[in-house]
């Protein structure tokens, strides 16, 4: 009986899919660093990272993998300038990251001064139950126009450069050009430093059940900045401009021009609060031609005349005399992963 040739044997073996593996990271495990596990991974693998702090553990992820923390947060902390000059983790394809905390991300002013916890560069990115604090940018992303970023049950606090040339140009979250859709659900943005609580240039932005809060010490500019418009829905969310805000507007829409086709903004079943003691303070700056549709929304600290600059339609607006409580609960509390 003739033996199969090596090429035929290789072809036969390739017909069977490679089984996905779980690579475990932590003390006493095969992989001591996340970078090492990422380098050894293949599409479909899960990288399970034991709870703890991983200092200066940087990686660019080009495989379709899931990173999940086990037993609590996997805390990725950068203590100096990031060698790749971008981020603690760089993502280039379809990736899910669950239960991670990112802090200390910085790059020099010569490299843009915009070091991020995560730099998104393509694919579909899912962020689940993560925490970003004390980075120049929490997440920064730009893509080829086809990818999506989905953020749920996550928190962004005190990100943004406080000095240097990038102060005011770095944010809790910055989704730049070339993103098809940004979705934010049940997440908490607060205390941004000089930059915005959230900035999105995505063609479509959907925000649900989320909080954007400057609080008493936050120095954010806009709470939500949508400089190129897009199809935007903000629903069941709380947006508070604090007393130290760097800008009189709470939400800005289309103010930089170059609008996405079909740009429109709908705000529904939400709460807009103004705590900035300034005669110039107002709620929504709509620089796009289509009117903002505001439905069943409560407003504190503003009047009808100061709620909008630009075209708008209103339905079911309630003006409050007493400011509602601002919840401070972490969005991942009660989630099974933590």
**The predicted structure's pLDDT at residue 2:** 53
What span, in angstroms and rounded, lies between the C-alpha atoms of 333 and 142?
Answer: 30
**The predicted structure's pLDDT at residue 333:** 81
Burial bucket for residue 315 (CB in 10 Å: 0-12, 13-18, 19+): exposed
CATH code for the structural domain at 78-320: 2.160.20
**The predicted structure's pLDDT at residue 168:** 93
Going by C-alpha positions, the residue among 241, 166, 256, 228 that lies closest to residue 197 is 241
Contacts of 138 (CB under 8 A, 6+ apart): 102, 116, 117, 118, 132, 156, 159, 171, 172, 173
Q: Are 97 and 127 in contact (CB under 8 A)?
A: yes
Q: Are 223 and 201 in contact (CB under 8 A)?
A: no
**The predicted structure's pLDDT at residue 79:** 98
What span, in angstroms and rounded, lies between the C-alpha atoms of 334 and 10?
Answer: 49
**The predicted structure's pLDDT at residue 66:** 98
**The predicted structure's pLDDT at residue 336:** 46
**The predicted structure's pLDDT at residue 19:** 84
**The predicted structure's pLDDT at residue 122:** 97
**The predicted structure's pLDDT at residue 270:** 98
What span, in angstroms and rounded, lies between the C-alpha atoms of 178 and 330?
Answer: 30
Q: What is the mean pLDDT of each run of 10 residues along the chain (338 residues)?
A: 53 60 96 98 98 98 98 97 98 98 97 97 98 98 95 98 92 96 98 96 98 95 97 98 94 97 98 94 96 97 94 96 94 64
Q: Which residues of 122-155 are buried (b: 16+ CB within 10 A; e: fewer)?
A: bbbbbbbbbbbbbbbbbbbbbbeeebbbbbbbbb
């Amino acid at each position: 009986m003739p033996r199969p040739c090596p090429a035929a044997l290789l072809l036969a073996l390739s017909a069977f899919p490679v089984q996905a593996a779980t690579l475990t990271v932590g003390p006493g495990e095969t992989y001591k660093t996340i970078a090492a596990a990422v380098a050894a991974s293949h599409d479909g693998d899960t990288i399970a990272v034991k709870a703890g702090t991983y200092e200066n553990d940087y990686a660019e992820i080009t495989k379709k993998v899931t990173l999940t923390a086990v037993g609590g947060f996997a805390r990725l902390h950068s203590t100096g300038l990031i060698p790749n000059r971008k981020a603690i983790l760089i993502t280039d394809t379809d990736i899910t990251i669950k239960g991670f905390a990112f802090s200390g991300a910085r790059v020099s002013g010569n490299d843009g001064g915009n070091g991020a916890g995560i730099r998104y560069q393509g694919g579909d990115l899912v962020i689940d139950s993560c925490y970003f604090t004390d980075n120049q940018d929490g997440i920064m992303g730009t893509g080829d126009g086809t990818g999506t970023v989905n953020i749920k049950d996550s928190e962004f606090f005190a990100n943004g450069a406080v000095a240097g040339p990038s102060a005011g140009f770095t944010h809790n979250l910055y989704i730049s050009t070339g993103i098809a859709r940004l979705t934010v659900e049940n997440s908490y943005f607060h205390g941004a430093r000089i930059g915005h609580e959230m900035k999105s240039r995505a063609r479509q932005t959907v925000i649900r059940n989320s909080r954007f809060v400057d609080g008493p010490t936050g120095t954010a500019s806009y709470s939500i900045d949508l400089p190129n418009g897009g199809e935007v829905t903000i629903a069941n969310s709380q947006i508070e401009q604090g007393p130290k805000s760097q800008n009189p507007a709470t939400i800005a829409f289309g103010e930089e021009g170059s609008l996405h086709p079909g740009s429109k903004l709908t705000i529904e079943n939400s709460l807009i609060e103004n705590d900035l003691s300034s005669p110039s303070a107002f709620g929504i700056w709509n620089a796009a031609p289509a009117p903002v549709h505001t439905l069943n929304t409560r407003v504190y600290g503003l009047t009808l005349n100061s709620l909008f600059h630009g075209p708008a339609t209103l339905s079911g607006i309630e003006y409050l005399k007493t400011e509602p409580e601002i919840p401070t609960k972490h969005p991942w509390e009660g989630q099974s992963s933590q």
